[in-house]
Amino acid sequence: MKKIAVLTSGGDAPGMNAAIRSVIRMAGFLHCEIVGIHRGYSGLLEEDFRLLTNRDAGGIVLRGGTMLKTARCPAFFDEDNQKKGARILKNHGIEGLVVIGGDGSVQGAAALSSLGIPTVTIPGTIDNDMHGTDETIGHDTAVNAVVGAVSRIRDTASAHDRAAIIEVMGRFAGNIALDAGIACGAEYILVPEVPFSREKLARSLIGQMKEGRTNSIIICAEGADDGRALGDWLKERTNIDICTTILGFIQRGGRPSARDSILGSLLGAAAVKALLDGQITSLIGMNKGEIRILPYSEAAKEKKIFKKGLYTLAGILGAAQEDEDIAESGL
């Protein structure tokens, strides 16, 4: 291959720029032209292309967001538009495409592959909800952002003897809530993967207050419950003073952690090599510290396993320690 392209798609994630830099520099090293496509599949359909040089990769490695910009492009669900995208790439002499994005973006890449465009996908999403890789670019940074915010919230909640609900992102997955929850010693972690009962949570909180605990931290994944509604309900039910914070986009921006920057650098280079080696239509992930190249069809068969052991441990270290009821059967 003499000319390939790269795009970022779906929600941005810290470390995407490190991956883009690595793609640009590895392509240059292997004497391959590299075209940047702006705004994901929207930019592909609108031919929003730019030739990238080594210089474009300068100064971006520790920047959050994505220098290529990103988008959600509903039009790309349509087969005619996928065909149009493949045609445009061919017309520009682009022989392969690196997609950096989440689960949805992989589907778009797979569609292009089935239309004769070799593609590889680098998993980039703060949610860490993708099959075929242990970790996605951006997750570690998002978890660290939550931990930083919770430590601040715990100070003020403690000063006022309040319980605190912190709603975190993750879409349908509880990985951000779980990883951040155990890291910051949350008393309760609510995730979509494990059903919970508001009533049991209320009873447990009342019990904790009676035992003298004046500030409990409840990390609530957005896919488990609506943080604001839960806070209102708990206040009414328990009479406990509760402060609720929806962390929102503060989790998605900012400088990538060293771990995400390293992950992006590793996966970007591996993606270019895989394309040029002809290992096409694959997800480029990490498995137990090693690069793993998995065909999309194989990756789709794998199920992302929720870390149940870690969740149970978080419970034991948190409120279940003092609450026999939830220790036995969960919330």
Annotated binding site: 11, 21-25, 72-73, 102-105, 125-127, 154, 162, 169-171, 185-187, 222
103 binds, among ligand ADP, ligand F6P, none (CB under 5 to 8 A by kind): ligand ADP
Distance CA 331, CA 265 (A): 40
Q: Which range of residues in 41-49, 82-90, 122-130, 284-292 is near ligand F6P by CB under 6 A? A: 122-130
Out of 63, 72, 203, 307, point to the residue binding ligand ADP (CB under 6 A): 72
The binder of 326, among ligand F6P, ligand ADP, none, by C-beta within 5 to 8 A per type, is none
Catalytic site includes residue 127 = yes
* Residues 304/130, Cβ–Cβ less than 8 Å: yes
Work out what residue 107 binds among ligand F6P, ligand ADP, none; the CB cut-off runs from 5 to 8 Å by kind: ligand ADP
Residue 43 contact among ligand ADP, ligand F6P, none, beta carbon within 5 to 8 Å by kind? none
DSSP assignment, residue 251? G
Smallest Cα–Cα separation from 259: which of 18, 92, 84?
18
Any idea which residue has 């003092």 for tokens?
322
> For residues 147 and 184, what is the distance between their CA atoms, to the nearest angstrom?
6
Please list, residue by residue across 236-274, b when 16 or more beta carbons sit within 10 angstroms of its beta carbon and e when fewer do.
eebebebbbbbbeeebbebebbebbbebbbbbbbbbbbb
126 is a site residue for ligand F6P (CB under 6 A): yes
Interaction with ligand F6P in 149-188: which residues (CB under 6 A)? Answer: 169-171
Q: Which of 47, 54, 59, 77 binds ligand ADP (CB under 6 A)?
A: 77
Q: Which segments of 91-241 are extended strands (E)?
A: 96-101, 119-123, 163-168, 188-190, 217-221
Q: Which is nearer to ligand F6P, 222 or 225 (CB)?
A: 222
Residue 176 binds to ligand ADP (criterion: CB under 6 A):
no
Q: Which residues contact 203 (CB under 8 A, 6 or more apart)?
A: 325
Q: How far is the CB of 104 from ligand F6P (least distance, A)?
A: 9
Give the C-alpha distances (Å, rounded to integers) separating 189 from 90, 180, 195, 274, 328.
Answer: 48, 9, 11, 39, 16
E strand spans, 67-157: 96-101, 119-123
C-beta separation of 243 from 162 below 8 A? yes
The neighbour count for residue 211, using CB atoms within 10 Å, is 9
**Angle 79-91/103-114 helices, nearest 10 degrees?**
70
- Of the listed 48, 80, 127, 226, which one is catalytic? 127
Among 102, 192, 227, 231, binds ligand F6P (CB under 6 A): 102
Residues 91-150 that bind ligand ADP (CB under 6 A): 101-105, 107-108, 111, 125
The annotation places the binding site for substrate at: 125-127, 162, 169-171, 222
Q: Which of 22, 39, 76, 217 binds ligand ADP (CB under 6 A)?
A: 76
Using the Cα atoms of residue 127, residue 132, residue 135 and residue 136 in order, give the sign of their dihedral.
Answer: negative
Least CB distance to ligand F6P at residue 178 (A) = 14
Please, what is the minimum distance in Å from the beta carbon of residue 142 to ligand F6P? 8
Residues known to be catalytic: 127
Binding site for ligand F6P (CB under 6 A): 11, 102, 125-127, 169-171, 222, 252
**What is the contact surface with ligand ADP in residues (CB under 6 A)?**
9-11, 41, 72-74, 76-77, 101-105, 107-108, 111, 125
